[in-house]
Amino acid sequence: MAPHIAQRPAQRPPRRVSWNDPATRALVYQALALALVGAAVWFLVHNTLHNLSLRNISTGFGFLNREAGFAIGETVIAYSPADTYGRAIFAGVLNTLRVGLLALVAATVLGVFIGVGRLSKNWLVNKITSVYVEVMRNVPLLLQLFFWYALITENMPGPRQAHNPLPGVFISNRGLKVPGLEGASLDWMLGGLALAIVAIVVVGHWATKRQEATGQPFKLGRTAIGLLVAFPLIGWLASGASLTLDMPALKGFNFVGGLTLTPEFVALFLGLTVYTSAFIAEVVRSGIQAVNNGQWEAAGSLGLPRRLVLRLVILPQALRVIIPPMTSQYLNLLKNSSLAVAIGYPDIVSVVNTTLNQTGQAIEGILIIMGAYLTVSLSISIFMNWYNKRIALVER
């Protein structure tokens, strides 16, 4: 009897649809959820199309090719009211990127200094940086922007009595005036600079490869400085050395020459830098504190000088802790730059806002804003994730 049972081919139980089967329930729940979301989306789209047809608004992105007809206070690219909405929005995107990238660099530098300062044994440094971080973190950014903007436009003197802290630098209620560079060589020198950066990356790559293969180190720092000086210099000479310093000067009631940084730009840049640097300082501080003290001692007992301990042992480990929260701070900074609209800096939000007030294309406008931010946010997080993976601890 027993062998007979053993020989009987294993019979799979017939598939029955039962509510007690978790797989069945999961399928039903998912189908229900999708149906609900689908119905909600259909309902919203249906209402929207109906409302749009009531208000005689045509959907689509055709309006981007129409003439914009409004001026933009400051642009990176050439722009006039006769240009299209598309170009206006592009100018807005570039303005966002300009203030965002500059503030990102400034906030990182300032934040690292302040974060290190919070760990300093020097009592004065420690207290001042702590107060800075607490105050700046706990006051809304929008309020800080209003504050800087009011400080510049209401409390700074007019152009004729402008503060002049350095030769060629004027601070007045019209913004900041700084000397600019002018001449045909400028593009050549910038090209040289870009080439130098590419060359440094290539040489650095080669140097790492060589050190891994032969053990010979390569003095990258000196080479990098040499390249950074030499390439722009060659560009300057090659283009006939035509470069002059354009100093701002008071003429009548306003300044001529030089570079102008508008009050809007200065307020936004200051606000973003100061606010974000307080958060970056905390990230840096916790990153350095996360490295075990034993690492310092062990590296010291290997005979490494303090400079090398920091570079080869402490920083690589601190960076692992620092990179993920730093990424979210960078993303926050970029998203916070949209507050520009509150003080009238023509970033993408403010340009699109003007556009949708003129054309009534609300949905397209908001889709453009969201699309632009999502693109840049996702690219930053992809880049930072790649970098994070590169420096992450390789485990078995």
Partner 1 sequence: MSNTTQTLGADLAPPGAQTGAWAWMRSRLFSSPLNLLITVLLAWGLLMAVPALVEWAFIKANFDAANAQECRASGGACWAFIIEKHRLILFGTYPFDEQWRPLIATVILIAVIVASGMRRFWNGKLALIWTLGLTAVAVLMWGGVFGLTYVENARWGGLPLTLILATFGIAFAFPVGVLLALGRRSKMPAIKALCVVYIELIRGVPLISLLFMSSVMLPLFLPEGFTIDKLLRAQIAIIMFAAAYIAETVRGGLQAIPKGQYEGADSLGLNYWQQMRKIILPQALKIVIPPLVGIFISLFKDTSLVVIIGIFDLTLAAKAALSDAAWRGFGVEAYLFISLIYFVFCYSMSKYSRALEQRLATGHAR
* Residue numbers at the binding site for partner 1 (CB under 8 A): 26, 29-31, 33-34, 37, 44, 47-48, 50-52, 54, 121-125, 128, 134-135, 137-144, 146-147, 149-151, 154-155, 335-336, 338-339, 341-342, 349, 353, 356, 362-363, 366, 369-370, 373-374, 377-378
Distance CA 197, CA 204 (A): 10
**Closest CB to partner 1 among residues 64, 380:** 380
Q: Which is nearer to partner 1, 233 or 290 (CB)?
A: 290
Among residues 316, 328, 310, the alpha carbon closest in space to that of 392 is found at: 316
- φ and ψ of 291, to 5 deg: -80, 125
Q: Look up residue 172 and give its two tokens.
A: 């007045």
Q: How far is the CB of 83 from partner 1 (least distance, A)?
A: 24
Give the separation between CA 66 and CA 317, rounded to whole angstroms. Answer: 54
- Overall size of the chain counted in residues: 396
Structure tokens belonging to residue 308:
């090398």
**328 neighbors 381 (Cβ within 8 angstroms):** no
Q: Would you say 52 or 247 has its CB closer to partner 1? A: 52
**By the 8 A CB rule, do 384 and 334 touch?**
no
Which residue in the block uniquely carries the two structure tokens 């307080």? 278
Residue placing its CB nearer to partner 1 in the complex, 100 or 287: 100
Residue 5 or 54: the one with the smaller Cβ distance to partner 1 is 54
Distance of alpha carbon 95 from alpha carbon 81, whole angstroms: 17
Rounded distance, CA 251 to CA 235, Å?
Answer: 34
- Count of CB atoms situated within 10 Å of the CB of 153: 16
Supply the minimum distance, in Å, between the C-beta of residue 33 and partner 1.
6
Q: Closer to partner 1 at the Cβ: 21 or 187?
A: 21
- CB nearer to partner 1: pick between 123 and 386: 123
Q: Which of 156, 186, 190 is nearest to 266 (CA)?
A: 156
